[in-house]
Structures are given as structure tokens and as C-alpha cells.
Amino acid sequence: MKYLLPLLLLPCLVRAQIPDSVQKKIDHVFRAFGAKTPGCVVAVLKDDEIIFKKGYGMANLEYGIPNQPNTIFHIASESKQYVAFCMLLLEQQGKLTVDDDIRKHLDFVPDFGTRITIRQLIHHTSGLRDWGSVAALTGWARSTQFYTNADALEIIARQKHLNHKPGDE
């Protein structure tokens, strides 16, 4: 009986794993970039389960912080194309149109006396100032490592004027 319990628990301990040969190939690819260069985190999924994840290279060169499997990246401009795609999906589903005034969906945005559309946000012609610039004007250092969504929304809501008429630039 004392040997039965460990046998019953064994399936809980055994999880899918990536073969050593595949892990070595992944390591080989990223080793070529060097450990002291900007890096990434790689994850391999099988049947919706992460079977391998590992950080390569540096998350922060200035402070010598290596990437870990749980490193959170400041993706900034990398997200623009995904946001545009998501807006088009929402339009296709009839949940919005890219010509909607943004205040219809983002009630915290100040009324600047002119209409700003989702399309203008996508094309960076809304007239809204870059939120990082506004953040710096309000005391946030551009080098701050992490902003929460709430921080970013608050910074955007603080804008008093547009840089230019929406759609002009």
C-alpha cells in the first residue's frame, strides 16, 4: 500500500517535455547571438501546454539583466500592427467602425472641440501628442521601465491641446 500512493501520483508529475535534441537546436540558434546582447524568450507549446520556455540574451543591457522565462517586454511600437488588425476585426464583427469618434469608446479622452476617429489613431494622424512626450512633461521619465495601462490612460487624459488638426499630418 505504501508504494501505491507514489504510483498513483506519478501521472501528476509526468508532463510533456521537449526532446533534448530540439532544446539543443534552439539553444544553438540563440547562442550565436551571444549572452550579452538583446535577447528574447522562446516558448514551445503542445496541446495548449507550455512544454519548453527559456530566456536568451539580455532584457536590459544597461543594468545587465538577463532574460528569464517570465520576462515581460515593453513592446511599444511592435503592437501597432496588432491593434490595427484588431480594430478591423471589431469592425468586421459590427462592434465599431474605424470612422467612429474615439470618445464613443474611450470616454476619458478630453473633448478637443473636433472629432478624432479610430482611423486617425491607426494612421497616427489624430493630433494627439505622443503619450511618452506628455508623460515626460508631467514628470514621468522616458526611461521609466514600466508603465501600467492605468498610467498610460491617465497620461493621455491629461492632454489639454492637440498637436495639429486631426487628419492633417
pLDDT of residue 158: 81
The rounded distance, in Å, linking the Cα atoms of 158 and 147 is 15
Same domain for 100 and 55, yes or no, is no
Beta bridge partners of 54: 42
Q: How far, in Å, CA of 149 to CA of 12, rounded?
A: 37
Close Cβ partners of 56 (under 8 Å, ≥ 6 residues apart): 30, 33, 35, 39, 40, 41, 42, 67
What residues does 55 pair with on adjacent strands?
41
pLDDT of residue 30: 86
What is the model's pTM? 0.62
- Residue 167, all three cell numbers: 487628419
Residue 71 lies inside a defined structural domain of this protein: no
Farthest CA pair distance, the chain: 79
- Whether 62 and 116 share a structural domain: no
Cβ neighbors of 73 (< 8 A, separation 6 or more) are 41, 59
- 87 and 150 housed in the same domain: yes
pLDDT tens track, the chain, 169 positions? 444 344 344 344 444 678 888 899 989 988 888 888 998 999 999 898 999 999 999 998 988 999 999 998 877 778 889 999 999 999 999 999 999 999 999 998 999 999 999 999 999 999 998 877 777 777 776 566 567 788 878 888 888 889 999 998 7
Overall domain count for the chain: 2
Q: Give the model's pLDDT for residue 139.
A: 74
Residue ranges making up the domain that contains 142: 76-157
One domain, residues 124 and 104: yes
pLDDT of residue 132: 73
